[in-house]
Every structure is written in structure tokens, then in C-alpha cells.
Chain A
């Protein structure tokens, strides 16, 4: 499986994720949240940022079900879902992830028929990687 290739801007996200916390970068001056993380705020150009905790609740914005040819580790689990989740408090912040049957379950663990746009989901963590389960 591919581990996240972490850059400077993204490092805090993964440090919080490793502790089981979902946080989003926000401007420390004007308060606007932004994703993916970046050095300065596109609204007010401030370089001051903070990492704001969120509830981890959200809704499925869209999803796909990839089929092979895929990289071998993913082909073994296919077909699986990949979802984009919009966060409850910050619907413009959307995270790519997988909807699974329980924390730590494989990518293909949930019947694709159960994935729907609009479905309410909750973040869980497995080895520092966020996953999503149906609420």
C-alpha cells in the first residue's frame, strides 16, 4: 500500500492523524479554513496558520469504485470505494478516503451498494490513516 508522501505543509495533518485527531489548517488571522494545506492564506495572504480540530462528521460528496488494472496491493482489494467526504462544519473542505465496515478494515470491506452520495459518515483512524465509517 502507498503511504502518504508527506510534505512540509501537510506534516501537521499527519501528526494529528497519528494521534487519532482530525484537524484542518486555518488562517490564524482571518480564520478561513483551507485544504490542501499551503504556506499562506489565499483570502488575506497571512502566513500565520493554526490547525483547527473538527468533529470528524461529514457526508459523502462523491465516490468511485476502481477496478483493475491497479497497483498490486490495490488490485487485491478491488473493487473498493474511494469517497470524497465534505466535513459537517466546513462543507468546502473535502477529504479523499475510504468508507470501510469498521476501523482497520480493508478497502473493499463495505458492500459498494451501501455507498451513497449524501450518506452521513464519521472518521476513524487506523495506523495514522483516516478512514470513514457510516454513522
Chain B
């Protein structure tokens, strides 16, 4: 392999966020500014030192507006990653690559979104991509929940996964949110009866299988390993990073290749582990993208925590809870903390490795963070 690569070459040294709520009064641009400035303050780095940015293509606050507002210096690298929640970890991966390659020195990644009080994207029938508009929407497959429910039903059919397995995911996230005062679902416990009797959204997915609809913004700061030593906080190293777009994959509606139940997680995982010094067994805590509960068992398989078809069974006996085989989504995740396209999972991964999570895994030294499964995705291995 040529060159030292990305391994531990960069670190996340600052994280910031706004409040999370169904409705926040400020607009997305203002929320973005607040999250970015909070992350820089956390790092102890002045805005004028920032020279790299990364965000999502769906982010509506562009670089020019953000840079003008918060007073960034001259930017020499800026990048945006597509595919919604599949891009979360890739924002940090792009900054890490740029900094490791010498294209920049201080990078900020962010996501600001008013998905709670703003319109639901699927309601916009004027701006549609060719595939859904032509091959799925006319038949009433309208929402992301419908598209993922289709794969979920097939997954349950092929492997014998059950609604109880999906409930285990929802419950673990809710339990962690109950410990996290910043979570939208803080102090709102979930029971099996509530889950099993809740209304359907798209059978086999019920209300509690779906993530929250949240207003909020988050950001983090990435610098070189050397620079990280001088920052205010304990560095959290980007140990390995990957994106994944498998051959013949089709985002969200992956019904058209030979094996629809092995998705982008498998592709990202191969690269991620190839460049890592540790294995899935060594992961202390994971933040797994959870726009829908069913994405978690799929991701557990894809990232190698269990075999194919075993993701449902893996969730049994409290495996995802604190003290279980693999505690996940320790801030509450998209299901119960906030749904901001997975960026809250990144910041929670950093908190775990700083030892400052509200649901701290004792001695956590390694964390997997994943972006959306079911779309072209990305993932990070973080270490302290």
C-alpha cells in the first residue's frame, strides 16, 4: 500500500450542537452558525483558522453563507457528499483525507436541518428523481418508510427476524435517550406494549420503527494528529474511514440487483476493516445509523458483528444496551435523540471516547460510527 494513509493521521477535536426539538424558532443558517461556533469553541480554535469545510449535498446553508457569517479565513478545501444520511461520516472522511494530504489544516463538518417543522421531502411531487417518479411513486410507494419497509419485509421473511428484534433496537435507543437530557425523548420511556400497539406507518414498520422529525444542527472540527495535541479536548482519532457504493446498488429502492439484502454497509466495511488495526470484536461502542430500526440489524451484519441473517437475533438479550455485547446509539440515535441525518451519531461517538457521554460505556476506546444503510454510505472507526 502506498503512503501512510489516513490511519490516526487526523482527529476530531471539537463538537458542537444546538438544542433539538420538533420546532426551533431560528432558521437553518442561524442554527448552522451556532453549531459550528460551538464546535470551534469546544476545540479552542478561532473561526479565522478554518480552511476546510464538508457537508451534505442536501445541506441548504452553503459554504459562502456560513463562511461570511462566522468569519472563516480563506478556504482551500470544500466538499459536499450526496445521498442524504449516507454522507454523514463521509464529511469527516473528506476532511481527514484533505488534511492528511496537506490540502487544508482545520476542517469543519456540519449539518443543519429543520426536518421537524419544515416540509416532509416526499410531499414535494414537483422535484423527483427519475427512478421513484417513474417506477415506484405512481404505485403509492411514496415515502422513505415505504421503501425501507419493503426491504424489511423481505429481510424478516428470509431470515426469520421479528418485530421483537426491531423493538429491541427502538428500546435500546429510547433507553439511552432517557439518560440524555438533550434528547427529544428524554424522560419518555418506551414499553413493548406501546411498540406493539402503536399505529402502522408502512407495514411491517410501525411508528416506533421510524426516526424522529427534528429541528437542529451539529458540527465537528477535524485537525491533524500533531495539531490535535495542542487543542483543549482529548483528541478522538479518525482511525479508518470509508465510503461505500456497491456495484449495481440502487439507493433506497435497492430491489434490482442480485442480492438486495447486502447493501452499502458491506462495501464500506470491507474498506474500513482493511485499513484498521482492530476488528469488530474490539469495538467497545457503536453509533449505527437508525432512520429506521431495520437498518440496525442490516448494519450489524454488514459491518461484521454477526453473520448474514443474524442481525435480528444479535439484538436479543439486551445486546444493544449498556453492558450488552455492543451498546449502540448511546445518545438515543435518530430514533430517540434527534434525526439530523446522522450527525448526532458522530458527536456521540466523540463523547464516548472522551468519556463524557450521558450513557458512558466504561473505558470505551474504540467506536464505530455509520451513515445510512440502504443508500450510498460511509463509516468511521474512531479511537481515543
Contacts and interface: CB of A to CB of B under 8 A. Distances in A.
Interface of A: 1-7, 9-10, 35-36, 42, 61-67, 69-71, 74, 77, 79-80, 82, 84, 92-98, 107, 112, 117, 129
Contact of B256 (A35, A67, A80): A35
Nearest to A73: B140
Contacts of A79: 200, 203
Contact of B136 (A6, A65, A96): A96
Interface residues of B, number: 39
B202 A117 contact: no
B141 interface: yes
B218 to A, nearest CB: 27
A69 B151 CA distance: 20
Given A7-B130, A84-B255, A61 B154 contact: yes
Contact of B142 (A36, A62, A71): A71
A62 B147 CA distance: 11
Contact of A10 (B134, B150, B200, B204): B134
11 contacts: A5-B137, A9-B130, A66-B141, A66-B143, A66-B145, A66-B202, A67-B201, A82-B150, A84-B150, A98-B140, A107-B140
A67 B204 CA distance: 11
B140 A117 contact: no
Considering residues A5, A9, A35, A112, which has the most beta carbons from chain B within 10 angstroms of its beta carbon? A5
Which of the listed residues A80, A84, A98 has the most CB atoms from chain B within 10 Å of its own CB? A84
Nearest to A34: B256
B141 A92 contact: no
Interface string B105-132: 0000000000000001001010010110
Interface of A is mostly: loop
A61 B199 contact: no
A65 B141 contact: no
Nearest to A132: B139
B150 A62 contact: yes
Given A70-B140, A79-B200, A96-B253, A5 B130 contact: yes
Contacts of B250: 36
B167 to A, nearest CB: 19
A69 to B, nearest CB: 8
Contacts of B157: 62, 117
Contact of A96 (B130, B141, B202): B141
